Chains A and B, each alone.
Chain A
Amino acid sequence: MIRLKGGRILDPANGRDEIGDLFIEAGRIAAPPPDPEAAARSYDLAGKIVMAGGVAMHGGLAGPNANAARALMRDAAPGTVGGIGLAYAAIGMTTAIEPALIPEHAVETHLQLGDIPFIDKAALALLGNDDALLRLIGEQHGERAIDDFLGWTIGQTQALGIAAVNPGGAAAFKDNLRAFAFEDVVPGYGVSARQIVEALIGSVQRLGLPPALHLECNNPDRPGSFVTAIEAMEAAAGLPLHLAQIQRHGFGAEGAEGFSSASAFLAEALAYHKNVSVDAGPMLFGARVALSADPARQFERSAGAGKWVVWDGEGNGGGAVPDRASETDYRHAIQWAVGLELCLLIDDPWRLALTADPAALPQIIQWLMDADARAECIARLPKPAMAMCLLPKLDREFSLYEIAAVTRAAPARILGLADRGQLGIGAVADIAVYGEQADKAAMFAAPDYVFKDGELIVEAGKVKASRVGRTLRARPVAQGQIASWLAQHDEALYGRAAGSFAVPDAFAGAESCFGDVPCRT
């Protein structure tokens, strides 16, 4: 048994903010033993902040789009799976999600996830631009068929849940439609984004998948994009829905440049739609590679880029486009502000997951916790852009407790990972210990200790133990009746056997890396 002694435990899921001890046994948080002094190992954490291991909701970890980004980064510093795992672990994030697993590339995606060290992973399977689903909706095969199809997809792809990126829009892009709004119809199917979203939300709910539908709405980054996000909230009609990368939908069309912050509208709508959770990934300035499963948006981004990858898959596809976010660029300044505004305006931390590249997260946490740090950055940005934003007027500062909520408790709850993001008895002993510092970016970049499944993996920036985590998946109960329809469909259309991309329970020569997450009942 390990004892973490006398730290300040910040555990929003259990309503705790107090000085106390934690005990670890067999990889889990254990009840205090009769004799705490008898613990085999004890860490004196007086003055330290103790949180559950972080849960990164929207990672961009693996698969063909990560490969494309890696190729385009070849003359800089291309990432590796080892680097990804280390980067998360080093800042105390112990679970990360690949939010856009492309079913046809499920095998490679899982092989890569399996090679990411230290942390636990999970993938959300991408639907909503694939011929099968559009056909099932358009030809009115009914809820049961759609449920079977989603259940089958989860089983084949070993996913935790379902995601959609620009539903209908990536399919329509192949028909040369460059923009796709919520009520627009995919040519050839007569199905709108709204219908796709409604079908997926309902089916995910009926199957009881751990996370709600993880939706990246249509028309991101554009003026007026907030309208699409609000339309999606309304379409959920009270059922659980998760809107991913919400900062890309916080734009209005006001001002001389026709591009402004609309985060107030979004935040207001979110306050009303309590069934909707979001993740927000405020950005940093500097070089970056935009990675997405939305080929339409990636093609739009490619204008002016020196090199870029865009590809059309059977469903989504995607691509990667390197660029640079500049402090002198009007749009970039607004994009930066909107990401932070949304975090500051959403007052229910339980419905907000803060998500960003691990290299960026500590800086973003600092901006959320420190209005002066924000003001410093605002001062460097174009004044006309800041005049179209709320950020200069917002003085809210996140508490450590709220940070623990939006980086731990809330994402775990949103994902349906009951034993993570919290420090209650029986929870997975993923723990991050930080030394309190005034400079919050420095504090969150360098935890004193990180435990994964009760094992010390990082101490003062040094790796103490290498380990390979699990890949979390759901196992919904679905009727297999769709299989024969799919077999015919895939043979006729694609000339392949349905499920030719299926991921086995264990890869060749290896033990199974999967861990099961119970469905909601």
Chain B
Amino acid sequence: MSSFLKYISGIYTALKSLLIGLTVTWKELWTKKVTMQYPENRETLVISDRWRAELIMPHDDNNEHACTACGICMMNCPNGTINVISKMVETEEGKQKKALDKHIWDYGMCTYCNLCVITCPSDAIIFSNDFEGAVYNREKLVHQLNKEGSKLREKKKEPVAATPKPQPTAPKEPVTQKDEAPKASNDATDKAENKTDL
């Protein structure tokens, strides 16, 4: 008799669990679909900020960057993707000083490990998330990160010269600039130039 009860209760539990399964899939039927329709949704596409796609050197409005040509990024790069070419320039005081000539980064060789960005002492380079980097020619993968005619951003001396009070604000300035920098680099004109390159 107990086996018969087991048989009946087995049917009952089976039906119950099947119905639970059906309700789960029923809810799933009405969930938001996760498919991204890529070329069409270009305008609204959201890429994670942490996505490392292309190494860029942010330039401000005066065409100035923060790279001091120290070469730490080049030394830290595991597979020699970065090549920093420096030059010697004469300052106003007549001193010889090292400055950046060309910052070369090879898109095709980069493993996107982020070590260059982490180790850069002056936060001169960052990874943007503009991922559409395909080109027809391998030479086009080699990017020069500093723009034509750009120069090193001079350190601002006013906060130091003025009263000691505003000093705490001084370190903030580079931070704000750093925040603005990626936006500037993602300018539409910038992108358009890249597109025409293809």
Partners in one complex: no
Chain A residues in the interface with B (C-beta under 8 A): none
Binding site for A on B (CB under 8 A): none
